[in-house]
Amino acid sequence: MDKQTAQKMETFDTEAESEITSSFQDLSFTSSTVSISLCSSSSDVSVSNSSNLSNGAAASEAKESEKTGLSFDPNEASFRSSYPSKPHKGNDLRWDAIQCVKGKDGDLGLGLGHFRLLKKLGVGDIGSVYLAELREMGCLFAMKVMDKGVLAGRKKLLRAQTEREILGLLDHPFLPTLYSHLETDKLSCLLMEFCCGGDLHILRQRQPGKHFSEQAARFYASEVLLALEYLHMMGVVYRDLKPENVLVREDGHIMLSDFDLSLRCCVSPTLVQSSSTEPSCRISSYCIEPPCIDPACKLPVCVEPPCLQPSCFKPRFFYSKTTKVKIEKPNLANSDSRPVLIAEPTTARSMSFVGTHEYLAPEIIRGDGHGSAVDWWTFGIFLYELLLGRTPFKGNGNRETLFNVVGQPLKYPEGSSVSFATKDLIRALLIKDPQKRLGFKSGATEIKQHPFFENVNWALIRSTHPPEIPKPVDLSSLNLAFKSALARNDEGATDSDRLSGKLSVVL
């Protein structure tokens, strides 16, 4: 981030926090805030110092709810039918809590005053994200706050609008839920799910050697791949995949974030019978052990230069006269009898220069125009970084990095223990010509059939045990830090100073 951009973001934070100060009536902690859950369907993520504190908080919240009339029973059938939620969020109590407030006060009644800001979580290009608690409900949310004046001055209003529209479309286990959109004269706020596990960049730094094992990388890459497949099916090219934008939920599964660089486009998802598809859609089209046993084999990993489509192979592989192949042929036909979903927006085109330098696709740097294939390039960079702790084309500066992306071949550090199948997948994803890149024609359908994902049960992926489960949020320590800082600020301060002090501590 250059100096001018940093100054603009500093101005944004100052103006936004000034507006938030006037919008939030009470930012102080009470005893009830020591025991707060993420409002999930699980009962074991609530945070408390002791049973007495928890019971006291519950009693306090019960009294307050009785006054305001905002109490609800999420298991009550009549309540759940009154506030229809998105199918994948049918058991999400955060959604129910928001709908309860809206049902009580109406959509116009839900505003910043219903929330208590607890902590600043991060700063992005078009706004800041805060940890916010829905009052009386004890639910935590991530609130993205954007200053309209700053966005207009930086010509970012369209990006903010695009992100809001995309979030409103999404209904997927590995993508965020937009619970509500709040507006004031100066601020635009998006209310989304809070992920207590941080992001994959932070999590990677904690691993031995600062990189994930191949098994862990496969888990995270599988879920990211399904999220990208859904986005492409909805006509969205993500364009900003990196570990910093992959958040970890309380259950250890992932959630993509930040859609302000995404591209909206047209797409026509279709189901194609496997009998009418190219044989390249079959997983057995790869040689996962070099060298190839059959000298006549023309698989992409066995041929130099690689064939035009990384997943293609010669039909002679199935018409070989060997007994083994003859036996396997009927089984392959039976296993491929189901239709295949093709949902790739191959006609999407953009000339924008957007993304992170180390993740930019060559076609973006060259100014050739780009489409959905940029997401498969970034997916390859993403997988490389998870496994090796760095990106493959990083230079001493941004200029050298861009030169390496366009002109340098893919290399691995000496002594790396990455498997051959993994290297083959990354190689196929990082082909510099987008039309020859794996995923260009059929998207995630091609990529999921690579041997790297051979043991992934796509239908039951949410039942897979994550490599790491985040610790519950400990708001009691945040409460102590807040009170001690607040006591220091109160010494000799005016009422105006006290409110400003509370804001600086909480945010």
User: Cα 141 from chain centroid?
Assistant: 15
Mean pLDDT across the chain, nearest whole number? 74
d(CA 8, CA 81) in angstroms, rounded, equals: 45
pLDDT digits (tens, 9 = 90+) for 225-237: 999 999 999 999 9
Q: Which of 71-80, 134-143, 233-242, 287-296 has the highest mean pLDDT?
A: 233-242
With cut-offs at 50, 70 and 90, classify the pLDDT of residue 106: low
pLDDT on residue 111: 85
With cut-offs at 50, 70 and 90, classify the pLDDT of residue 501: very low
pLDDT digits (tens, 9 = 90+) for 329-382: 444 334 456 787 787 888 888 999 988 999 999 999 999 999 999 999 999 999
| Catalytic center residues | 240
pLDDT digits (tens, 9 = 90+) for 49-90: 333 333 333 344 344 444 444 444 444 433 343 344 566 666
Residue indicated by tokens 């002109």? 407
Mean pLDDT across 120-141: 89
209: how many CB neighbours lie within 10 A of its CB?
Answer: 9
Mean pLDDT across 268-287: 56
Q: How many Cα atoms are found within 13 Å in the side-chain-facing hemisphere of 68?
A: 18
Give yes or no for residue 278 having a pLDDT over 80: no
With cut-offs at 50, 70 and 90, classify the pLDDT of residue 453: very high
DSSP secondary structure code for residue 321 in this structure = -
Q: What percent of the chain clears pLDDT 70, i.e. is strictly above it?
A: 62
- Is the peptide bond preceding residue 291 cis, with omega within 30 degrees of 0? yes
Residue indicated by tokens 């025991």? 35
Mean pLDDT across 261-277: 77
pLDDT on residue 310: 43
pLDDT on residue 60: 41
pLDDT on residue 92: 78
d(CA 261, CA 240) in angstroms, rounded, equals: 7
Give yes or no for residue 257 having a pLDDT over 60: yes
Lowest mean pLDDT among 86-95, 109-118, 355-364, 479-488: 479-488
Higher pLDDT, 64 or 193: 193
All domains of the chain in start order, with CATH: 3-196+472-506 (3.30.200.20), 209-269+345-463 (1.10.510.10), 271-340 (no CATH)
pLDDT on residue 107: 54
d(CA 8, CA 4) in angstroms, rounded, equals: 6
With cut-offs at 50, 70 and 90, classify the pLDDT of residue 507: very low
Mean pLDDT across 288-294: 41
pLDDT digits (tens, 9 = 90+) for 457-476: 999 999 999 999 988 777 66
Give yes or no for residue 485 having a pLDDT over 90: no
Give yes or no for residue 418 having a pLDDT over 80: yes
C-alpha distances (whole Å) from 185 to each of 8, 20, 189, 300 are: 20, 12, 11, 57
Give yes or no for residue 294 having a pLDDT over 80: no
pLDDT on residue 488: 56
Mean pLDDT across 264-290: 59
pLDDT on residue 339: 81
With cut-offs at 50, 70 and 90, classify the pLDDT of residue 428: very high
C-alpha distances (whole Å) from 492 to each of 27, 28, 29, 500, 501 are: 20, 18, 21, 14, 12
Mean pLDDT across 413-440: 94
